[in-house]
Structure 1
Amino acid sequence: MFPGSFGNCHSPPHAPAKICPQGVGEVLGAPRVPTRNCTAVPAAGNSGIPLQPPHSGPELQSCPQRGWGGVGARLGLEIALQTQQGVGSPQARGGAKSLKSCPPPHRLCPPPVLLSRCTMDHTVVLITGCSSGIGLHLAVRLAADPSQRFKVYATLRDLSAQGPLLEAAQARGCPPGSLEILQLDVRDSDSVAAARAHVTEGRVDVLVCNAGRGVLGPLEAHSVDTVASILDVNVVGMVRTLQAFLPDMKRRGSGRVLVTGSMGGLMGLPFNDVYCASKFAIEGLCESLAVLLPHFGVHLSLIECGPVHTAFLEKLEGGPGGSLERADAQTRQLYSLYERHSQEVFREMGQDPEEVTEVFLTALSAPEPALRYFSTNRFLPLTRLRLDDPSGDNYVAAMHRVVFADQCAWSMAQGPGRHEPGAAAAIPQ
């Protein structure tokens, strides 16, 4: 899946590496010297997909998923109810309608186009949070590229957890030297600086900010230390990482930053208060940087993920639900209802990490990358509803019905004070 074509830049001998305006011959790590005298030709001996033209669709891009049903059907019904009752704007009604007329899957997500180069240097990629899940799959996928164009630095907070990564790399047949594992704890500036110093190429062309922690449960069930820990990893940790690698990208006039975002950063979700707060902060941080960085030839993209089948839930800060005894009986009961709903969402809509990796590859290889890419389009109606009604009432009403309405009878039957939490709820990753 990693084939492609190299950009053939017609430059005089010993000339600086150049960047095609179309992005076809972009050299990450080379001086940004524009030239129009570039053509794309297939690389000799390379197999795989041909070079694709730049995507010309809207900024909010998404990948097709399975059909709607169950929870998805309820969600669609809530959107329809809001618009039919006249509370939604014309834009909201148009947005809901447009979802039914989405273009075919191959038009929503064209095959990945890998970054083309005018030199034989590797594209150096550093990824945080590679002990499992998306980070692990992306690291191995790039390192196993048949053309061996990537040098991947996969980083972990705890090197004792590198076993699954090594096994996946061996199973995938990653060639020697394509993957190097480093220790990097985003909570420690010295650790981040040490990892940067171990990059032997002296530069990072693509930075993937993937490290993150989750927390789930009633707000009062979390200690202040737990809240601080989540913000330190998800927000401040990302700032530390960007501060370490962005200045060099800006000096060189080239670079890509990919950030693992979440639908929980675009809309509030019950019992995800602290997690959503951290992800909302990331959205603001990234969107602000995205306005500035193109002046330096650097592009930042958010990969907005829904529920993904990873070990993310097993690593929840404070465990599932937190200290539930701190919450009142009715809140504990509502949390139990939320767990049931979340398990259904995860069962119907949970994605494999490989599906999400495809979206990262699309963003990585896009000549003109968008700010946001979505791993699934199934939550877009709710995000549109939230944006189209500035008061927020429509979104709150729809989300409340989707999560709680169908469980009212069950809730009443349990009686006040009953709480029987099930397995860890699926939270947007």
Structure 2
Amino acid sequence: MEDLREGPQQDLAAALARARSPERPGPDTPAGPAVRPWPGLPLPIPQAAPADLDLRALLRLSLAASDASGRLRPAPSAGALHPVDTELAVGAGCSLPPGRYGYDPLRHRVHRIGPPATDTPPGVTAELSVTAQRTVSHYGHRARPLLLLDTGHAAAALFLAARALGVREPEVRLDGLTENPLAVVHVPPPGGTNPRHPADSARPTEPSGGPPTPAELLTRRSAPPPLPGTPSHDALRAVLATARQAATGGSLRWCAAVGAPRPGLVELAPGGTTLLRYAAGEARPTLAAWAAGQAWIVDAGAVLLAHGCPADADAPHVRRAHLRAGFAVHLAHVTARRHGLAARPVGSWQQADLGAALGAAPGRDWVVHALALGTRHADEENTP
């Protein structure tokens, strides 16, 4: 089994360099339990009083499995392996008594694992970490960036669920400074606000069109290939604008690869009102080769790309870039669906040095994450 711990055993920069290399993973290994073995008895989440934060709804809209296998959830995951674990610090104003809880997304239950800390703020603070073995079991040495992207998607799912429930200021911390937890989402109770918004926390942002509805979150699915049909100028501009706004502070750039009649790469113009073409030529065959050889990308209508994270980035930079890329692609996916597009996140990238391919210095501008787009209507996606 691959050792993905940081420190002497495995430096994050070295792990990322290996994940970006053409080396292929070995045979699959056991994924282990799908849920962390939380101590104590599983407890149902009580119905919320009118003045309390409804934790049952918040978690159902963001992290809970909707099928017996545990694969289908509101947040996407590479290989549907769902490595993200959630520990809840519950304060006043919630449908659970104050304390610390581990969340079981398969049974939609919690395990009380301790009393609340004295400084626990009102509402709930979700601390996200990962059980790497689940993703390593299939992706091997390519797992490290996927674990970070999955965590960013889970943070976005919690953020959007809070907004769907009418919470005005969920706080999302994606600073990349710690390995455990990797991300933190604080949701205040109804009518509450976050008294602090650190400079490195994500300010509230929205998909194009405002907060989502619960139905939008529960029906969001990654569309199966193929994804043909070039999105309209307005739809592509909205998806790019959502991603760029959501990833503020992550040192990422955003562009989209489009095909005929004018194949090339486009990005948002200053001000975000139109698209600028900054590279000509058909990029999708190269992207398909870089994306673990997923040939269907050649025929995708467009491919949204998050790029940056140079080869010499330190561990906080690597974590921050990938966490925010996952967060931003999740929100961009909602925008895409609102514009009638089918969409599918693409997280595994090898030799994807976009900057070098465009003639810039090598090692400075790598593809970090992507969202493939097509004009097939979202209603045509496979649903459970």
TM over 0.5: no
> Under a length normalisation based on structure 1, what TM-score does the superposition of the two structures give?
0.28
Specify which structure has the higher proportion of strand: 2
**Which one has a bigger Cα radius of gyration?**
1
Specify which structure has the higher proportion of helix: 1
> Under a length normalisation based on structure 2, what TM-score does the superposition of the two structures give?
0.30
